[in-house]
Structure 1
Amino acid sequence: MRQKPGTKQSHGEKVVKDIRRATRKQYSAEEKIRIVLDGLKGEDSIAELCRREGIAQSLYYSWSKEFLEAGKKRLAGDTARAATSTEVKDLRREARDLKEVVAEQALELRLLKKSMIGDGGDDE
């Protein structure tokens, strides 16, 4: 299936490659941590662990490096982190709700001011 440089890929090979790319398993952060911790335990070899999990050893080692670097930064006091997509969605929803409350209160305040001006000027 591998092609030499300069040769054209057939339509069938392109379709297969696209399907493999689309059906590639996406691992959550928790799954990555579990796999790296299993490797650090040393109960099984890294090759056996990767075979069992269906990942390449290079992928395991890159996850392991990221995991250890993140731990090092955390222990060094660098606590800044990127927000997860669910956190961002929750914050956006909360901001929208707060904006609605502010808009409602501003409208009520404007109506109260108009009623006070209307009442105060028509005493005669």
Structure 2
Amino acid sequence: MSETRKYRMFTPEQKIEIVLAGLRGDRGVRDVCREYEISEALFYQWRERLLEGGKTALGTPRDKKPPEAAELAEARKKIAQLERALGRKTYELDIAGEALRGWE
């Protein structure tokens, strides 16, 4: 009979906590892995992913905006236009309502 192995799932926050615990240096990687019951190979995989993600994030120049920033700016511009148009129409309806009340 074969057993189906059940793997534990770690959240990204838990993975970061584990990797940082190993990077702090106050205890060894082996001790951290033993505490969280993970293999050292898994720890080093997570560490490499974390460092690679950090390198990517830090490699982006401050003045260069991410691609979605342009899309967000365009959406905000469109929202502002629609809000102005709504304001104008609301004002026109108020004036029309006042004019109709004067006919009574």
TM-score using structure 1 length: 0.48
1:1-124 paired onto structure 2 within 5 Å: 11=1, 14=2, 16=3, 18=4, 20=5, 23-77=6-60
Q: For 2:41, give the aligned amino acid.
A: S
| Higher RCO (CA-CA < 8 Å; seq separation 6+) | 2
Count matched residues. 63
Consecutive unaligned residues in structure 1, runs of 5 or more: 1-10, 81-124
1:57 positional shift: 0.1
Distance 1:56 1:76 in 2: 30
Distance 1:24 1:48 in 2: 21
Consecutive unaligned residues in structure 2, runs of 5 or more: 68-104
Distance 1:48 1:40 in 2: 12
Runs of 4+ off more than 3 Å: none
Distance 2:12 2:42 in 1: 14
Q: Percent identity?
A: 33
**Structure 1 vs Structure 2 CA RMSD:** 1.7
1:24 positional shift: 1.2
TM-score using structure 2 length: 0.57
Distance 2:36 2:9 in 1: 12
